[in-house]
Amino acid sequence: MAIPWVEKYRPRTLRDIVGNNQAIAQMKKWAMDWDQGKPQKPIILVGKPGCGKTSAARALANDMKWGVIELNASDVRNEKNIKRIAMVGAVNETFTDDGKFISSKFGGRKLIIFDEADNLYEGKDDRGGKKAIVETIRVAKQPIILIGNDYYGILSGVWGKKLKSMCAVVKFRALTSAQIIKVLNRICRGEEIVCEKEALRVIASRCGGDLRAAINDLQAVAEGKKVLRVEEVKPVGYRDVKNQIYKTVLKVLHTVELNEARRYITNTDETPDYILLWVEENMPLEYTKTDEMVRAYEYLSRADVYLGRVVRRQQYSLWSYAIDMLSAVSVAKEEEYKKHPRYAFPSWLRVMSTSKARRDTRDSIGMKLGVIYHASSQRVKEDILPYFRVLYEKNRELRALYTYLLHLEDKEISFLTDLDVEEILKDAEKIEEKIEKKGEGGSA
């Protein structure tokens, strides 16, 4: 599989981060101070998904030529892990990752990044991730960045409050459509794809300020193409990015904790049947061991059984069982895969939505023709439409006449032929004028 564009085009330097100028300036100043030997409070980057927080933190380290120790929620599940990984790096300032000796006086710094810090367990005493971070901060001699979506998620609870007093907050805003289009344009140039402006505008307007989602959408519809037209972007509309279905699927497939998976599923606005489609489509991209896949499919099929009963018996209380089964997909694996595949839109939904739209269009043409030919729409579909289509495509005059007579709409015309819709409509207008003139002449 090709590499995800979100990774391929992840900014390597702060100069390539689009928008959020104020936040970036704050980060730069903070890093400069560190480099001038003035230790600074850790900073917390908060903001909506996909606006560049993780990218900015990594780019900063890159610009400053600092090493990086990065932990995200799944690594930081408990205090022991944090101590093992972060503390060593935080306190020990003399060795780089590859074992070279560099004193921090000579710029040998390491940036410690706690990503997804709002998903940490507050936990009891020894399990609390936040507590471990607080303790790391207390002894750290290195710059630390915490990252999360949810300001209160990070700074709530006993240890969260302590964090709040120890850190400075840097706010990231969701990107505007114009900023998103700028990045999408950059990617299209990189991939040598010519994009209709409108196509990018549609993607940008549907992503709710989440650039990651926009880039994933772009890749889904444009990869391998030379030209991207606005029609091809339409399936993207079926994805409601606001509800972060991508993120939910990612969490369910990544975590190995049943409760955590359940929490993510119940916290989205999406219905279990929709989540099921997404998990089913993407599980095989993530899981590779056969026995784990078998277990995962077993759980999915049971979830499907419950969902079927919900519909048949109108008994929504069964949703909860379906959610349990969906959550269980997370524990079908022994341990987390460290993969980050590009998640795909459920193919079943994509096919259904395009074929349903096509069927609807065919039916509407069928009805219109049925009136003229005094035939049932079934007969039209079977006996008349195939021939009509050929005539419509071959004969310009007939095409214009029928476009006028049937009041064909754009999508109906496109269903019948690949010819230019605008031109056909112009021809139809001319016919209309002619007929009207004749009508006037006749009545005179």
Ligand X SMILES: Nc1ncnc2c1ncn2[C@@H]1O[C@H](COP(=O)(O)OP(=O)(O)OP(=O)(O)O)[C@@H](O)[C@H]1O
Distance CA 376, CA 380 (A): 6
Q: What token pair was written down for 74?
A: 């799944």
Q: How far is the CB of 256 from Mg ion (least distance, A)?
A: 20
Interaction between residue 11 and ligand X (CB under 6 A): yes
Residue from the set 14, 19, 73, 292 that interacts with ligand X by CB under 6 A: 19
Beta strands in 117-249 (DSSP E): 144-148, 168-171, 194-195, 227-228
Tell me the closest approach of the beta carbon of residue 266 to ligand X, in angstroms.
Answer: 19
**Which stretch, 17-25, 192-200, 251-259, 373-381, contacts ligand X (CB under 6 A)?**
17-25
Least distance between ligand X and beta carbon 347 (Å): 24
Which does residue 142 touch among Mg ion, ligand X, none (CB within 5 to 8 A, set by kind)?
none
**Residue 341 makes contact with ligand X by CB under 6 A:** no
Task: Tell me the longest C-alpha to C-alpha distance in the chain.
Answer: 102
Q: 395: Cβ–Cβ under 8 A, 6 or more apart, which residues?
A: none
Based on CB atoms, which residue is closest to ligand X, 248 or 327? 248
Host H or E run for residue 262: helix 258-266
Residues 6+ apart with CB under 8 A from 269: 243
Q: Which residues fall within 8 angstroms of residue 165, CB to CB, at 6 or more apart? A: none
* DSSP run (H or E) holding 91: helix 88-91
Q: What is the DSSP letter of 171?
A: E
- 3-state secondary structure at position 226: coil
Binding-site partner at residue 385 among ligand X, Mg ion, none, CB < 5 to 8 Å by type: none
* C-alpha torsion angle, residues 125, 130, 135, 137 (rounded to 10): 180
Pick what 251 binds: ligand X, Mg ion, none; C-beta below 5 to 8 Å, kind-dependent. Answer: none
406 binds, among Mg ion, ligand X, none (CB under 5 to 8 A by kind): none
Contact 98, 67 (CB under 8 A): no
| Among residues 20, 54, 149, 248, the one that binds Mg ion under rule CB under 5 A | 54
Nearer to ligand X, 90 or 215 (CB): 215
Strand partners, 110: 67
Give the residue, chosen from 52, 157, 235, 272, that forms a contact with ligand X under the rule CB under 6 A: 52
Closest approach, Cβ 145 to ligand X, in A, equals: 11
Q: Provide DSSP, 99-131.
A: S-B--GGGT--EEEEETTGGG----SGGG-HHH
Q: To the nearest whole angstrom, how small is the minimum distance from the Cβ of residue 159 to Mg ion?
A: 21
Query: Which partner from the list ligand X, Mg ion, none does 235 bind, CB cut-off 5 to 8 Å by kind?
Result: none
Establish if 20 lies at the interface with Mg ion (CB under 5 A): no
Shortest Cβ contact with Mg ion: which residue?
A: 54
Cα distance between residue 230 and residue 5, in whole Å: 20
Candidate list 43, 54, 218, 252; residue touching ligand X; CB under 6 A: 54
Are the C-beta atoms of 54 and 103 separated by less than 8 Å? no
The partner residues of 114 in beta bridges, in order of sequence, read 71, 146
55 in contact with ligand X (CB under 6 A): yes
Q: Is 342 in the site for ligand X (CB under 6 A)?
A: no
Binding flag, residue 209, ligand X (CB under 6 A): no
Cβ-Cβ contacts under 8 Å for 386 (sequence gap 6 or more): none
Least distance to ligand X, CB of residue 361, Å: 36
Measuring CA to CA, which residue among 18, 51, 2 is closest to residue 214?
A: 51
Which residue, among 407, 384, 411, 388, has the nearest Cα to 398 in the 3D structure? 388
Q: Which is nearer to Mg ion, 54 or 255 (CB)?
A: 54
User: Which CB sits closer to Mg ion, 60 or 221?
Assistant: 60
Binding residue for ligand X (CB under 6 A) from 146, 183, 329, 332? 183
Considering only 78, 119, 149, 282, the residue that binds ligand X (CB under 6 A) is 149
Residue 248 as a binder of ligand X (CB under 6 A): the answer is: no
Q: How far is the CB of 144 from ligand X (least distance, A)?
A: 16
Nearest distance from residue 134's CB to ligand X, in Å? Answer: 22
Give the ranges where 290-420 is alpha helix by DSSP (H): 290-313, 319-328, 347-373, 377-379, 385-394, 396-405, 410-416
Give the residue with the Cβ less far from ligand X, 178 or 391.
178
Give the binding site for Mg ion (CB under 5 A). Answer: 54
Residues that bind ligand X (CB under 6 A): 6, 9-11, 17-19, 49-55, 149, 175, 183, 211-212, 215
